[in-house]
Amino acid sequence: MPGSNCTQATEFSLAGFTEDPATQVTLFLLFLLIYLVTILGNLGMITLIRASALLQSPMYYFLGNLAFVNLCTSTTIAPRMLAGVLLGKKGITYAGCMAQIFTFGLFVVTECFLLAAMAYDRYVAICHPLLYPLVMSPERCSRLVTGSYLLGLTNGVGQAVGMSSLFFCSSSTIDLFFCDISMLISLSSSDTTLSLIILRTSSLLSVPSLLVVLVSYVAIISTILSISTAEGKRKALSTCASHLAAVSTFYGPLIFMYLIPRSDTSRGGDKWAAVLYTVVTPMLNPWIYSLRNREVKEAWRR
């Protein structure tokens, strides 16, 4: 039960990065550049996929949705972070925090399953190429994408419900640049059992998607090793390189942030791990696919 001297918080304070004015200006310019590149890259990728006849295949259908999710993830976090860095506005209302938790929870889990769908697509293309048109039909691709969004929505609603059951004192400060449900649970002055169950369940939602990625690539690598020619192996690997890079930049910091147990005193790297998967990864993905994919580069040229 909340203490008698504790008043329910209507606003939280976000710790941000630093109090040094010169460093704040540098960080603002850096994060503003990253956000603008994120908008340009992801909107450009979505437009290109919709407009180019070269990119009307399941892989690019998934990639277009991934670009949309990256754009939404970055927009959920970056504008509020930029205002905090430049203007020193560290306060965020309870309703704003709730909205941020819901939208971020929605899009981060959606991205997990979109990456899994893309791994499955590459598995079918390399391991069962003759069955590819049948297995990766437009209807199945649509169901995979819809399922990804529904699982993301389930996670977003669950995390919002978990937060709504928590009680916070008016002096609550979140040691991060956005509202994170795990941080809020540690700050709560009420019973956190329900919220912890929801958090752990939502964290485990990413495990099946990661398993799909791992199993798919075990099968892909096994198939590639069985190819007799070096040129054939190179071509097969080239179709997976961009996706592997996207998976690594997304899952690496996410696993560090949520799935590796550690004490509160060893959480110093959380802030920069969060920067990687909330700000940097959404910027990198469209450029990874643009620079390493021959069809995308040809579509850009046209």
Q: What is the pLDDT of residues 186-217, one digit of tens each?
A: 777 777 777 777 777 777 777 888 899 999 99
- More reliable by pLDDT, 235 or 79: 79
For the chain, the domains span 15-301
The percent of residues in the chain predicted with pLDDT above 70, rounded, is 89
CA distance 13 to 139: 46
15-301: CATH class: mainly alpha
CA distance 224 to 127: 9
**How confident is the model at residue 233, as a pLDDT?**
80
Mean residue pLDDT across the chain: 82
Q: Are 181 and 108 in contact (CB under 8 A)?
A: no
Residue 265, pLDDT above cutoff 50: no
Residue 43, pLDDT above cutoff 90: yes
